[in-house]
Amino acid sequence: MSITRSLNATALHARTADLCTTNRWVEDSGFTVPATYSSVREEHGLLAQRAALSDLSARQVWLFKGADAASFLSFATLHDAAALTPARALETYWCDDAGFVRGKGTILRREANVFELMTRVRDLAWMLDGSEGFDIEVRDITSERAAVGVSGPLAAALLSEAALLSKELHAGDVVEVQWRASRLSVLKRGEDASYELLLPAEDAILVWDRLWRAGRPTGLGVAGADALEIIRIEQGRLKPGADWLPAQAAVADEELRLPSDFGVNADLTRRFNGVDALRRQSTNGRPIPVQLVANGAMAPGALTAKGAGAGRVTSTAWSEARDEAVALAWVDASVSVVGATVIAQGPGGPIEARVAMAAQGRAA
């Protein structure tokens, strides 16, 4: 007997469905979102040269509220959430008792005792178990929230034109905006031209339409999951479930990741879950995440160098902007330097690739 998994529509489905002329959809954390609205090439061009809207509402959102919210998140994750000021966000990881990474996400401090954690890793049960004994409410509010991605060189200008942003933001900044009956937050992601509008689900269509009207005269478009994936790989951003497995999903020791594998130097003098194990862990000989480039398409799979195994490709894409293939991979330290060459697998056989840069653990 086959079991069909039910999928949910996001709060923006009414608008994205009208715009998705290809009718190509993908599953994201139990929701359906457009894979491609019109063409990957067109949508990638919008993200690289102009501005595009994306539906990011499938991401998990957990609420932490109560007198111990800051102290609990400071213990559960690698970063000191208590030091985070309201209207700021930071990216963090959390570890199991053995010090291996279970998940990653973005913590947003709303008020002194109110936080939200946004993540693509399903690990709420673990958070709930860990919160026992703390004066805190932990709740899944994913279905109550919507998120609109606004990306591209003209993103800030679009938000200004729509009266949703009146000042320059830096990475991790959050501003609260009151527009008509809607109350939303604008979050600046990283140092690139990428923003997210975080808002109640019931206001999603209203805000999307406001952005659409403000941006259409200057060429605003939409970007689906496929185009966003290409941008992610071009930027070298590692994605849980694609480029690495959370510890609870790993089936072999070589799949387990330490915070240092992502370039995170956890403060081992601070008390957090897994810190005792991390003090004993050795980081010698561990694989290193890199971005590879090649003249021809690459496929996920094993890498070799000088006839010996050298790592594994995890994500691949073709970059129209660069006119070359790009990939993310975990490689041995001996071939991790920029310019080092390895042999990847392509559709037509082996293909030479070179290391372009270190990959990063920034949220995807």
Do 338 and 331 meet the contact criterion of CB atoms below 8 Å apart? no
- Low-confidence residues of the chain: pLDDT under 70: 1-6, 191, 361-364
Coil, strand, or helix at residue 6?
Answer: coil
End-to-end CA distance of the chain: 36
* Domains defined for the chain, CATH in brackets: 8-57+145-182+203-235 (3.30.1360.120), 287-364 (2.40.30.110)
Which pLDDT tens digit goes with each residue over 157-194?
A: 999 999 999 999 999 999 999 877 778 999 999 767 89
The first and second tokens of residue 352, run together, are: 């030479």
Question: What's the pLDDT at 187?
Answer: 97
Question: What's the pLDDT at 182?
Answer: 74
Question: What's the pLDDT at 300?
Answer: 97
Q: Across-strand partners of 111?
A: 114
Q: Report the C-alpha dihedral over residues 108, 109, 111, 112, rounded to 10 degrees.
A: 160
Of all helices (H) and strands (E), which one includes residue 188?
Answer: strand 182-189
- What is the sign of the dihedral through the CA atoms of 17, 21, 27 and 29? negative
pTM for the complete prediction? 0.94
Environment class of residue 284 by beta-carbon count within 10 Å: exposed (0-12), middle (13-18) or buried (19+)? Answer: exposed
Do 275 and 268 meet the contact criterion of CB atoms below 8 Å apart? yes
Tokens 């990283």 belong to residue = 190
Question: What's the pLDDT at 3?
Answer: 41
Residue 260 φ/ψ, nearest 5 degrees: -65, -25
Question: What's the pLDDT at 364?
Answer: 44
Q: What is the DSSP secondary structure assignment for residue 339, as one 8-state letter?
A: T
